[in-house]
Amino acid sequence: MYAVLAGGVGAARFIRGLTRVVPAGEVVAIVNVGDDLAHVGLRICPDLDSITYWLAGLVHPEQQWGRSDESHTVAHELRRFGHEPWFTLGDRDLATHLHRTMRLHEGLPLSRVTEEITAAFGVEVRLIPVTDDPVETRITTADGRDLHFQEYWVGERGRPEVTAVRLAGAETARPAPGVVETLIDADAVIIAPSNPVVSIDTILAVPGLREAVGTTPAPVVGVSPIVGGEVVRGMAHKLLPAVGAEVSAAGVARHYGELLDGWVVDRQDASTIDEITAHGIACVATDTMMDDVEVAAALAQRCLALADERRADT
């Protein structure tokens, strides 16, 4: 069984490739929930939904998140009542949020509702939200404000300078059922090419997670989300400096530090291999731009091979 620490789109593109090289039923993704928000009375889980729609083959092809063949009638009608939906609400996507919100109101934990949603979409990869408890990523800006991650990223389009990032509620959050066991029992743990600060660090901020990734007998291998010194998409370049990390493939490897047994960088960053290896992290370069699924599958295969090499070393 293969465990993947997962944010949203970067992780979704990777996991889709991974399911071409190992059976989907052998893949368990532990998914960030720091981005989740309550909006127009609904519970929205952007990272869980991005992965679900990608794996179901129903993701919006240009946006890379949300549903394909989407319309926005409900969002438009909400304006009649003075609600300005600043967070995109597609009609098809809304059905997911409605079902989730109903079931949460009935008392089901998010991890159970997520099982229902993935089953309804025919997704065989198991998605586990890292915690069922309420947590949220908060952004401190240079002008002294404290914003929910989505207010910063969607509401303010990522413009404010960021000085700190934290997962509010983490102190009392517990890992969702199966999360720690998955990490300990896995044949390999893969850190997806996701945002290191607001996807991976927010997973590791849940008590017990960093310890589980640090002590699992499984090799831990990550894929760099930074290619040629730049983010492929998103805001990692704005957030890495706020946590004291360099915006480079090597900078992210150093940021994860001793959690990593192996690190996969893009061919464009092959010159950093020696620097990363000097930190005791086995490093290889390959194509990591997963615009087509064949590249994603080859990348996943390379990760598993590196994990096998590291397992044999120990």
Whose Cβ is closer to ligand GDP: residue 103's or residue 197's? Answer: 197
When CB distances are held under 5 to 8 angstroms depending on the partner's kind, the choice from ligand GDP, Ca ion, none that residue 255 binds is none
47 binds Ca ion (CB under 5 A): yes
Specify whether the backbone of 122 is left (phi greater than 0), alpha (psi in -120 to 50) or beta.
left
Q: Using an 8 Å Cβ cutoff, are 160 and 142 in contact?
A: yes
Q: Using CB under 6 A, pick the residue from 129, 175, 193, 251 that binds ligand GDP.
A: 193
- Name the minimum Å distance from CB 230 to ligand GDP: 8
Considering beta carbons, is residue 168 or 289 the nearer one to ligand GDP?
289
The span of 85-93, 128-136, 210-218, 221-229 binding ligand GDP (CB under 6 A) equals 221-229
Helices H / strands E in the chain, number of each: 13, 14
Angle, in degrees to the nearest 10, between helices 9-21 and 293-313: 80
Determine which residue in the list 31, 33, 35, 36 makes contact with Ca ion, applying CB under 5 A.
Answer: 35
**Helix/strand/coil for 55:** helix
Least separation in angstroms between residue 202's CB and Ca ion is 9
Query: Which of 7/251 has CB closer to ligand GDP?
Result: 7
Radius of gyration of the chain (CA): 19
Q: Is 150 in the site for ligand GDP (CB under 6 A)?
A: no
104 binds, among Ca ion, ligand GDP, none (CB under 5 to 8 A by kind): none
Q: Please name the helix (run of DSSP H) or strand (run of DSSP E) that holds residue 305, with its range, or none.
A: helix 293-313
Q: Does 132 bind Ca ion (CB under 5 A)?
A: no
Q: How many residues does the chain have?
A: 314
Nearest residue to Ca ion, scored by beta-carbon proximity: 8
Contact flag: residue 137 with ligand GDP (CB under 6 A): no
10 near ligand GDP, rule: CB under 6 A = yes
**Which residues ranging from 277 to 296 are in contact with ligand GDP (CB under 6 A)?**
288-290
Closest CA to 29 of 10, 56, 51: 51
| 22 vs 295, beta carbon nearer ligand GDP | 295
CA distance 186 to 220: 10
Q: How far is the CB of 159 from ligand GDP (least distance, A)?
A: 17
Q: Out of 3, 8, 66, 253, name the contact with Ca ion by CB under 5 A.
A: 8
Asked if 190 and 299 count as a contact pair (C-beta separation under 8 A), the reply is no
Q: Binding residues for ligand GDP, per CB under 6 A?
A: 7-11, 13, 47, 50, 193-195, 199, 223-225, 227, 231-234, 236, 288-290
